[in-house]
Structure 1
Amino acid sequence: MTDQKSGRQVSRRRYSAEFKSEALGLAEQVGVAGAAKQLGLHESQLYAWRKKARYEASRSETEKELAIENARLKRQLAKQAEELEILKKASAYFAKSLK
């Protein structure tokens, strides 16, 4: 990124996750415009952070639900495999007795 006026290289600022979280908390209390002004940020930056935080929260919730469903399906599969094994043994036993 270069500064248009002077043509020199401008480095991007990086904010920690803690700073972003606190900034979003401040935005909840005083509003995005007020928080942006207090922190010296653009409002769009706070909106982008908020959007990303909501996306990640919903994504982790979805992953948790999928993990629960996966565990349930594994239990169901194990139970059905056990039932199938019992039926195979019973079938073999009754087939022998018919001969």
Structure 2
Amino acid sequence: MKDGKLPKRQYTEEFKAEAVRLAASVGGHEAARRLGVPVATVGNWSRRGVASSGPGGGPAAGEAPARRPVSELEAENSRLRRELAEAKLDVEILRKATAYFAKVSR
């Protein structure tokens, strides 16, 4: 590490396969955060199909990766829209309060 570079880390195939399975269930960013692995590394493993290389792990070479059902995505989308609306309301309230207190302090 004299050059300021990190040492190259080596991961077992089992670890990679588990990371890909975790990324499929909770998402790549969350899996990378939990495992302490760079997000790009988990993404590379997913694209290469590390999980499918082991016996009985993941989809076969010709199959498409598993996707979340549309109803799940719609529910998440509506939840995120609600959160966004609440955040916008909070920002608007804070703007008005700031303007009010700026006017009062003069």
Q: What TM-score, normalized by structure 1, do the two folds share?
A: 0.46
Instruction: Report which of the two has the higher share of helix.
Output: 1
Q: What TM-score, normalized by structure 2, do the two folds share?
A: 0.43
Tell which structure's C-alpha radius of gyration is larger: 1
